[in-house]
Structure 1
Amino acid sequence: LSCPVGFKNGTDGNLRIAAEAVKSAAQPHHFMAVTKGGRSGIATTTGNEDCHVILRGGVAPNYDAASVEAASTELARIGVAPRLMIDVSHANSSKKPENQPKVAADVAGQVAAGDERIIGVMIESNLVAGRQDVVAGKPLVYGQSITDGCIDWATTETVLHGLAGAVEWRRSVRRAMIESRQGAA
């Protein structure tokens, strides 16, 4: 794919499969495809360097600084740049939407502390908090998930503002370090 692609760790928390998928995706590939003219052909890709691992938790959460370090070490071990997205839902929130802001705050703290390996987050969000089942004859609540439980829009805004503030802080610290080095030179 000619776009950034994330590979989630296994539901057991295993990082190896996701790390190896990132490494494989970066390599050239050849595969059967349909041409723009509607004919079968062989497509050739140069590989996708814009891939990353998504930490979604497993048997235990894996969003904390120690887990980010372990994932980065595994990626470096196989020669892959440590680019991590953190899923603040799923096993990282114990599948409880109300825990997502706490997870996001921890991630924001890591970003504000200068961790540049964290490139993004995934949030389960909708207009209305929670989730609902599809029941024949019963109208759905507009803006409420029918799959995973979500945080509501107001909570999402608060979480996003916190993350944006962390990124701004990280950037200002990086700028100050660069300016300091340039001034010393």
Structure 2
Amino acid sequence: MAGKVSPTPDERSGLLGFLAQQRQAMKAAVYGLTDEQARAVPSASELSVGGLVKHVSSTESEWIDRVLRVEPKPFAESMAGYQENYRLGPDETMDSVLAGYDRVAARTEEVIAGIADLDQEVPVPKDVPWFPPDVDAWSVRWVLLHLIEETARHAGHADIIRESLDGATAMPLLAAVEGWPATDWLKPWQAGE
């Protein structure tokens, strides 16, 4: 995927394209890191790059469950594991988390391809305190826009954390991931530089 989303033939392709781009930004932030580095918490926050990838993967999966009207866990039950969702555990690897994220992405693409109308309603759970009490449903379109926003927010967090770890920044990392040629103004990231 290039640094920008290609022109898209329709709204659905555009939404999925921008979501894929933000996923790629998340994945670029962990490029070249060891599992230990992906667990590191080098800034004032308690966030790690690996934990953020794990979180956006889980969040996307939960939203697609909502689209499919899979009964969500009660809010209190889902909050019990919330903080762990932001941590790359000692027995987890970045490779396994990234493979899981790829499976979530493929599922999202498949589910959205099978939905005839992006205006299809997605019920708003009533036990989540930050969801509006006066809204009964969002649309699938709204869910996709929210996933883009959520992933982009956390991709920005991941960029800052990665830069705190080893000085690597988003565009050189993306250039390394995608094999862009070096130019006078952009050199692909390389370990140890």
TM-score, normalized by the shorter chain, greater than 0.5? no
Q: Structure with the greater relative contact order (CA < 8 A, sep ≥ 6): 1 or 2?
A: 2
What is the TM-score with the length of structure 2 in the denominator?
0.24
Whichever of the two has the greater Rg, that structure is 1
Q: Looking at secondary structure, tell me which structure has more helix per residue.
A: 2
What is the TM-score with the length of structure 1 in the denominator?
0.25
Q: Looking at secondary structure, tell me which structure has more strand per residue.
A: 1
